[in-house]
Amino acid sequence: MSSSPTFRRLPRAVREQQMLDAAVRVFSRRGYHAASMDDIAELAGISKPMVYAYLGTKEELFVACLHREGTRMLEAIAGAAAPDLPTDERLWRGLRAFFGFVGAHRDGWAVLYRQARGSQPFAGELAAMRTRMVEVVAGMLAHALRADGREVGETDLEVVAYALVGASESLADWLADHPEADPEQTATRMMSVAWLGAAQLLAGTTWPPPQV
Amino acid sequence: MSSSPTFRRLPRAVREQQMLDAAVRVFSRRGYHAASMDDIAELAGISKPMVYAYLGTKEELFVACLHREGTRMLEAIAGAAAPDLPTDERLWRGLRAFFGFVGAHRDGWAVLYRQARGSQPFAGELAAMRTRMVEVVAGMLAHALRADGREVGETDLEVVAYALVGASESLADWLADHPEADPEQTATRMMSVAWLGAAQLLAGTTWPPPQV
C-alpha cells in the first residue's frame, strides 16, 4: 500500500490475475504435489515472497485457482443459457459452454478437478460448485415449467438436476481423456442421453417399471 | 498359523469378515479420521494387535472396507441384471439393486464414499470401481444391441455408459442425504430421466441441435 506507483506498476488485482494464470498453468502441467512455488513465481515474473504475500501458501493458491476457474466456468454456462430461449436450447447452450470450457482446458480440468476431487481441503470447494450447478439447473427447469403453467414436484426437479449434473461431470471427465472428441458433439450426445428422458419425466411421463 | 484350534476357534476368513464388519460400522459412524483402532477392536471383540496383524494399518483397513463394500455392491448389481431380460428391465433391476444398496447403507455410503472421494489413497479404489461400472453398463448395452442385430459406434456406447454411471452416482449421493426417499422410486426416476433418452440415442435418434 505504501509503495510508490513507479515501483508497483500494475494494480494489485491485475498482478493477482497474472499470478493465478501462472499458477493454473504450473498446477495443470505438473500436478499439485510436484508444482513448486518457485516455478509459479518464475512464470509469473515475480519473486517468491511476493507470491506468498499476495496469495498465501501453495494450498491457498490452489484453492484460489479452483475458485477462479470454477467461477469462470459457472459464469460461462449461466451466460450461455439465455433465459428467453426454449428450455432444451438453454440446456444445450449451457452444456455446450460447459463442454467447450472443459475441451479448451483439458489439461487443467484433468489436474485441477481430479486433484481437487482427491484431496480433502479442495473437495469442499468442488462440492460447493456442484451444489451451485444443481441449483442453476433446477432453477432453469422450474422457470421453464412455470412459464408453461405446469407444476412438477420439487423432488422430481431436484432428481433431474442431480442426474443431469452428475452425468455432465462424468462426461466432462471422459472428454478430458479424449483429445480427439469434439466438445460440441459431446453436448449434443449429452442432450440425447439425458434431455429426451428428462423432458418426459418433467412432462409427467415416467418409465414404467415392470409389473412383478 | 501355529496356534491351537482351541485358541483360534474361528477360521481366519470368518474372523476377518467380523473385523471388517466392525470397521465398516465404526468408520460409518465416526468418519475415517475420528475412528480409532481401539473402537474397531472392541466392537470386533478382539485385541488391537490382532486387528493390526490381520488387516494392517487404519489406512489399509479402510481400503479393505471400501474394497469389500464396493465388490458386494457390484455383485448385487450384476446379479440383479439377469442377461435374459430386456435391456431396459436389466438396467432398471441393476439400478434398483444399486439404489437399494445405497438406501440400506445410507450412513456407510455417506462416510465411506465421501471419505474415499476426498482422500488420495482411497480415490484410486473408487476410480477403479467406477471404471468397472462403466464397463459393466457398456457391456450390457453392447450385448443388447448385438442381440438386436444393431450396431452403435463404440464412442456412443461409452458416452451413454459414462452418463448413466455419473447420473447414478450423483443420485446415490442425493439418496444418502434423503432418508425419506424411496430407493426403488429413485431407480424408476433415474430410468425416466436417463433411459428414455439413452434408448433414443442407441436407436439412432438424437436431440437436434438448433440450426444457428
- CB of A168 within 8 Å of a chain B CB? The answer is yes
Closest CA to A171 of B190, B125, B133, B166: B166
Say if the Cβ atoms of A192 and B169 lie within 8 Å: no
Q: Closest-CA residue in chain B for A206?
A: B192
- CB of B186 within 8 Å of a chain A CB? The answer is yes
A142-181 pLDDT, tens digit each: 887 787 777 777 888 888 889 989 999 999 989 988 999 9
Helices B87-104 and B183-190, packing angle to 10 deg: 140
A36-88 pLDDT, tens digit each: 999 999 999 999 998 999 899 999 999 899 888 888 888 888 888 888 888 78
Q: Return the CATH fold of B64-202.
A: Tetracycline Repressor; domain 2 (1.10.357)
- CB of A97 within 8 Å of a chain B CB? The answer is no
B100-137 pLDDT, tens digit each: 999 988 877 777 787 777 676 787 788 888 888 898 88
ipTM above 0.85, yes or no: no
Say if the Cβ atoms of B193 and A197 lie within 8 Å: yes
Burial (Cβ within 10 Å: 0-12, 13-18, ≥19) of residue B4: exposed
Overall average pLDDT of the A112-117 stretch = 77
Domain covering B9-56 in this structure, CATH number: 1.10.10.60
Please determine, for residue B5, whether its predicted confidence score (pLDDT) is greater than 60.
Answer: no
Closest CA to B187 of B94, B63, B113: B94
Helices (H), A178-202: 183-190, 196-202
Residue B73: what pLDDT? 87
Q: Per-residue DSSP letters for B42-56? A: HHHTS-HHHHHHHH-
Please determine, for residue B212, whether its predicted confidence score (pLDDT) is greater than 60.
Answer: no
Lowest mean pLDDT among A20-24, A42-46, B203-207: B203-207
Cα distances (Å, whole numbers) of residue A130 to A6, A85, A123: 43, 24, 10
Contacts 24+ apart (CB under 8 A), A53-61: A54/A12, A54/A15, A54/A16, A54/A19, A55/A16, A55/A19, A55/A20, A55/A23, A58/A32, A59/A121, A61/A19, A61/A20, A61/A23, A61/A37
**Pick the residue with more confidence: A39 or B29?**
A39
Please report, for chain B, the start and end positions of each structural domain, with discontinuous segments joined by +: 9-56, 64-202
Domain covering A11-56 in this structure, CATH number: 1.10.10.60
The architecture (CATH level 2) of A63-202 comes to Orthogonal Bundle (1.10)
Residue B172: what pLDDT? 92
B38-58 pLDDT, tens digit each: 999 999 999 999 899 989 999
* Nine cell digits for residue A119: 484431496
The mean predicted confidence, pLDDT, of chain B is 83
* Nine cell digits for residue A14: 491485475
Lowest mean pLDDT among A141-155, B48-62, B83-97, B190-204: B190-204
Cell 444399486 belongs to: B98
Residue A108: what pLDDT? 76
Distance between start and end Cα atoms, chain B: 74
- CB of A88 within 8 Å of a chain B CB? The answer is yes
Q: How many CB pairs under 8 A join A and B?
A: 156
**Which chain A residues are within 8 Å of B189, Cβ to Cβ?**
156, 159, 163, 201, 206
Residues B27 and B18 sit within 8 Å (Cβ to Cβ): no
d(CA A96, CA A194): 14
B148-173 pLDDT, tens digit each: 777 777 888 888 889 989 999 999 98
Cell 508444482 belongs to: A35
When pLDDT is cut at 50, 70 and 90, the band that residue A1 belongs to is very low
Residue B205: what pLDDT? 66
